[in-house]
Amino acid sequence: MDAKNLFDAHAYFCNLCARNKLTKQHQFHPCTVSGIESLQEPLQQFRQKTAFLAVDDTNDGVTVQQSGGWFKKRTFTVFLLMRYRMDDMADRHAKLAVCREIYRQFVSHMIVDKEDLSNELVYLNTARIMSRELGTYFMSGCTGLYFMADVLEPQDVSYNEEEWE
């Protein structure tokens, strides 16, 4: 990652999913979504798969000047979703508990990754990671949560005369 090549959230979180024992045990399927309103891939595979790690391929961002340089702050959303038996609230609570534990494990790994100066995740903000659990009526037979993590990456905003007429 540098001022031109930014953090690849999809690759990072899919890699965490592939390496986590609990996501493997519960067969979480990594996929892509475009916001909470567009959960197309999980909906298409809802009958074949029982659990999803869905990374939003859109993000919110802002360019800021800080400490003499320019940075791009981007916020990424990751959904942890599990199917449960309809009308079985005990199963719903058990599946939500799995999602909560996976979230906790992901956060602990993100903290370790940020502290490891040999990788490019030093810009990952682990001081504040927001999460929200999905309500009973989010999607029939599906529960889970989403969390939002952000990075503050250096951005090259150098003026280049050759880009203009």
pLDDT in tens, 38-95: 666 556 666 678 899 999 888 788 999 988 899 889 899 999 999 998 888 899 999 9
| Domains defined along the chain, listed by start | 9-153 (3.30.2000)
Give 117-151 pLDDT, tens digit per residue. Answer: 666 777 888 899 999 998 766 667 889 999 999 98
Report the DSSP beta bridge partners of residue 25. Answer: none
Confidence of residue 103 (pLDDT cuts 50, 70, 90): very high
Question: What letters, b where the CB count within 10 A reaches 16 and e where it falls short, cover 8-35?
Answer: ebbebbbebbeebeebeebebbbbebee
Residue 102: pLDDT over 50 = yes
Q: What is the DSSP letter of 37?
A: T
